[in-house]
Structure 1
Amino acid sequence: MFFIGIFGIENKEKEIKIINNLTCKGCNRLTMARVIKSYEFFHFFFIPIFKWNEKYYIQCESCRKVFSISKEKGKAIEKNENIEITYWDLKEINNSYSNGYYKDNINNVCNNCGKVVDSGYKYCPYCGHEVK
Structure 2
Amino acid sequence: MKVKYMFFIGVFGIENKQKEICEVNQVQCKNCEGISSGKLYKTFQCFHFFFIPIIKWNEEYYLKCNSCRNIFRISSEKGGNFEKGMGEELTYWDLEEVKNNYGSDATEDKIICQSCGASIDNKYKYCPYCGNKM
- TMscore range, shorter length: 0.7 to 0.9
CA distance in 2, matches of 1:45, 1:115: 25
Runs of 5+ consecutive residues of structure 2 not aligned to the other structure? 1-8, 102-108
Instruction: Give the 5 Å matches for 1:47-126.
Output: 47-96=52-101, 105-106=110-111, 109=114, 119-122=122-125
On the 8 A contact 2:39/2:66 being kept in 1, the answer is: yes
1:15 positional shift: 0.8
Cα distance change of structure 1 residues 116 and 79 upon mapping to structure 2, 3 Å threshold: closer
1:121 positional shift: 3.9
1:7 positional shift: 1.1
Of residues 17, 31, 37, the one that matches 1:32 is 37
Cα distance change of structure 1 residues 89 and 106 upon mapping to structure 2, 3 Å threshold: same
* TM-score under structure 2 length normalisation: 0.73
Partner SS state of residue 26, structure 2: strand
On the 8 A contact 2:62/2:117 being kept in 1, the answer is: no
Instruction: Give the partner amino acid of 2:74.
Output: I
On the 8 A contact 1:56/1:68 being kept in 2, the answer is: yes
On the 8 A contact 2:113/2:127 being kept in 1, the answer is: no
For residue 11 of structure 2, what is the aligned residue in structure 1? 6
Partner SS state of residue 106, structure 1: strand
Cα distance change of structure 1 residues 51 and 123 upon mapping to structure 2, 3 Å threshold: closer
- Structure with bigger gyration radius: 2
On the 8 A contact 1:22/1:31 being kept in 2, the answer is: yes
Bigger fraction of residues in strand? 1
CA distance in 2, matches of 1:124, 1:105: 12
